[in-house]
């Protein structure tokens, strides 16, 4: 029984299963922020920030220590750019780090009661990507390989 467990563990620790897991983690984290970013733009537009978004940043998210119009633009841009990079696996660690930073700002200044279970899961997903990178099914992989040669 222990030998079977050891074989399964070795197989699950191999490059391909890890790459599949990292791809799934990238897509899961990206999806959370992408959907949030899409709520901040006018319906039917690619990137016209809605008046409701500016209102929310001026009122409900007013504790964020940035000018509200600037915070609205930065959050909207970040929630589109970094998830797209994560799906591609391009600058994975940087993108996950940026989304981790956003998560902490949301946790501290906007929704401090949402740590468990919401923000703790976002942090866990981001930390996996920061520690492990994008995996072999990412654009980071061939670039890193080229740099190492």
pLDDT digits (tens, 9 = 90+) for 6-28: 999 999 889 999 999 999 999 99
* Separation of alpha carbons 94 and 99, rounded Å: 9
Supply φ then ψ for residue 47, to 5 degrees.
-160, 45
Tens digits of residue pLDDT in 108-117 = 999 999 999 9
H/E run at residue 59: none
Q: What is the mean pLDDT of residues 85-105?
A: 98
Please measure the distance between the N-terminal and C-terminal CA atoms of the chain and give it in whole angstroms.
Answer: 42
Supply φ then ψ for residue 136, to 5 degrees.
-75, -15
120, two tokens: 């703790």
Match 């391909």 to its residue by tokens. Answer: 16
14, two tokens: 């191999």
Q: What is the mean pLDDT of residues 105-131?
A: 98
Contacts of 82 (CB under 8 A, 6+ apart): 30, 33, 95, 98, 99
Neighbouring C-alpha atoms within 13 Å toward the C-beta of 52: 7
Question: pLDDT category, 55, cuts 50, 70, 90?
Answer: very high
Least confident of 38-42, 70-74, 111-115, 140-144: 140-144
């Amino acid at each position: 029984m222990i030998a079977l467990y050891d074989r399964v563990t070795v197989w699950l620790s191999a490059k391909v299963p890890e790459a599949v897991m990292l791809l799934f983690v990238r897509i899961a984290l990206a999806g959370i922020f992408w959907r949030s970013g899409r709520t901040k733009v006018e319906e039917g537009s690619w990137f016209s920030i809605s008046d409701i978004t500016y209102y929310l940043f001026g009122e409900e998210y007013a504790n964020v220590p940035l000018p509200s119009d600037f915070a609205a633009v930065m959050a909207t841009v970040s929630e589109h750019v970094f998830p797209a990079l994560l799906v591609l696996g391009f600058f994975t660690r940087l993108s996950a780090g940026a989304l981790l930073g956003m998560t902490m700002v949301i946790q501290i200044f906007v929704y401090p009661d949402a740590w468990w279970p919401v923000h703790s899961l976002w942090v866990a997903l981001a930390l996996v990507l920061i520690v492990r990178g994008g995996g072999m099914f990412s654009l980071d992989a061939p670039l890193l390989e080229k740099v190492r040669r």
